[in-house]
Amino acid sequence: MCKMVGVHPSGFYAWCVQPESKRAKEERRLLGHIKQSWLESGAVYHYPKVSDDLRDLGERCGINRIHRIMRLVGLRSQTGYGKRKWKGGGVPSVVVPNHLQRQIAGYGPRAPCAACSACPPAVSATGSTDR
């Protein structure tokens, strides 16, 4: 079997005695703290906040290491509630009803306001002005 895999038999048996490295054991221990912090947050925290929590506990590890461990295990933060509004979700906009029953006449391009002389005169289709 060692010839098929391309390893020396002594290396294989050394691996069988100690299959997990020190770093792998440390990452497994860190994963327990990471999962605890992530679950206590309600699965909301992502790696920066989990890193802050571990730093508060006295653990010394880099933010990229935490990010890698969380990514490998599949721990993700909750990015929102329901559908995102920019992807077609959310509540449709509603026009506010006219409670005061005002009759507001808008000023269109053919009706300049009479109160000020700053408004340009409207130009008709024939090119003449209305003023």
- The string of pLDDT tens digits covering residues 77-96 is 877 666 555 655 566 667 77
DSSP secondary-structure letter at 129? Answer: B
Statement: the pTM of the whole predicted model exceeds 0.75:
no
Coil, helix or strand at residue 123? strand
* Alpha helix segments (H runs only) across 1-131: 2-5, 9-17, 22-40, 47-57, 63-73
| Nearest alpha-carbon partner for 30 in 3, 70, 2 | 70
Cα(12)–Cα(1) distance, integer angstroms: 10
> pLDDT for 39-81, tens place per residue?
888 888 888 889 999 999 898 889 999 999 999 999 888 776 6
Length of the chain as a residue count = 131
